[in-house]
Amino acid sequence: MSVNINADELHERLLTMAKYFHAFCEENNIDYYMLGGTMLGAVRHKGFIPWDDDMDFGIPRSDYDRFIQLFNEKSKPEYELRFYKNAKNSPMHYAKLIDNRTTLIECNYHNYIEGLYIDIFPLDVADKNNISERIRNKRIMIKHSLIINHCSTISEREIINGRGIAKGLLKIIIKKYAQMRNLNKLHNSLEELMTKRKDDNLGYIANYLGAWGEREIVPKSTMGVPVLYQFDDTQLYGPEDYDGYLKSLYGKYMELPPKEKRIFKHSFYYLNLNRPYRKYNNKKAI
């Protein structure tokens, strides 16, 4: 079961959060970039992709840890950061900027109650020109997948129905293996792998936790110096070489997908933009 979404209302609330994030970063001299579908929306639609239901941003690691510390100290009371270090059973390793006046539960994670969020990814230095680095990149993505599978509440029947028998059984085996592992140890091991390389001479920047795998490892020159792009009624920062970045992720990014694929990518089990998530009561709300 998933709830119907009022896209205009959702986009309005997300954009309000993004404006606050932008202002906070500028005030504290923190570089950031729009990522993924948010950057694609800025270039192709001058705002939200009409069927998008979230916003993605990335902060270089040198500023990311400082951003988390400063935000926890200085943010407005209605906003907070949740990530694996301060949120029990977090299915995501990266930070989420949460509007704590709202409640959101995703279908994949019934046990994880949060507010409406924008994603804040760490961007780490990387390389992909030698075998050892490519192996490390794969290990990072595998560990991230184990964390997601550990926290997933999708039933075995839903997995089989969605993937077919062969792929479904493999997914179930991976999920069972992941749930045998200690979640905190998985998170800590992933963080150690991601931050192992600190050499600024490495030629790539990676969003290791993004949806597109190795396509999200791009040359430093592609990200470059953050540039302002129009996004609805405001401006937000994105990669200097937007064309190179979007081609790496999407290929022919200006082409619209078929109509049947123009759907929200997240499935919300419960969404209330006027109920603080700390006051959520399962019996009353659903």
Q: Which two tokens stand for residue 88?
A: 């029990």
Write the DSSP symbol of residue 197.
-
Q: What is the CA radius of gyration of the chain?
A: 19
Q: Does residue 37 form part of some domain?
A: yes
Q: Does residue 179 form part of some domain?
A: no
Q: Does residue 233 form part of some domain?
A: yes
Which neighbouring-strand residues pair with 228?
237
pTM: 0.92
Q: Does residue 216 form part of some domain?
A: yes
- pLDDT for residue 11: 96
Amino acid at 214: E
- pLDDT for residue 2: 62
How many folded domains does the chain comprise?
Answer: 1
Q: Does residue 184 form part of some domain?
A: no
Distance (Å, rounded) from C-alpha 4 to C-alpha 166? 31
Q: Which two tokens stand for residue 220?
A: 């430093």
Candidates 39, 18, 54; CA nearest to 271 is 54
Outline where the chain has alpha helix (H): 7-27, 36-44, 61-74, 131-151, 156-163, 165-179, 183-194, 220-223, 242-250, 282-285
Identify whether the C-beta of residue 91 lies closer than 8 Å to the C-beta of residue 145: no
- pLDDT for residue 285: 41
**C-alpha distance from residue 41 to each of 7, 38, 231, 238, 247 (Å):** 14, 5, 8, 11, 14
Q: Does residue 2 form part of some domain?
A: no
Q: Does residue 232 form part of some domain?
A: yes
Distance (Å, rounded) from C-alpha 48 to C-alpha 51? 8
Candidates 38, 37, 51; CA nearest to 8 is 51
Over its length of 286 residues, how does the chain's per-residue pLDDT go in tens digits?
467 778 999 999 999 999 999 999 999 999 999 999 999 999 999 999 999 999 999 999 989 999 999 999 999 999 999 999 988 888 889 999 999 999 999 988 888 899 999 999 999 999 888 888 889 899 999 999 999 999 888 887 887 877 878 877 888 888 888 889 999 999 999 999 999 887 777 899 999 999 999 999 999 999 999 999 999 999 999 999 999 999 999 999 999 999 988 888 777 889 999 999 999 876 444 3
- pLDDT for residue 282: 65
- pLDDT for residue 286: 37
Q: Does residue 189 form part of some domain?
A: no
The CATH number covering residue 75 comes to 3.30.460
* Structural domain boundaries enclosing 56: 7-124+202-285
Distance (Å, rounded) from C-alpha 187 to C-alpha 126? 19
- pLDDT for residue 284: 43
Candidates 234, 279, 241, 263; CA nearest to 16 is 234
- pLDDT for residue 267: 78
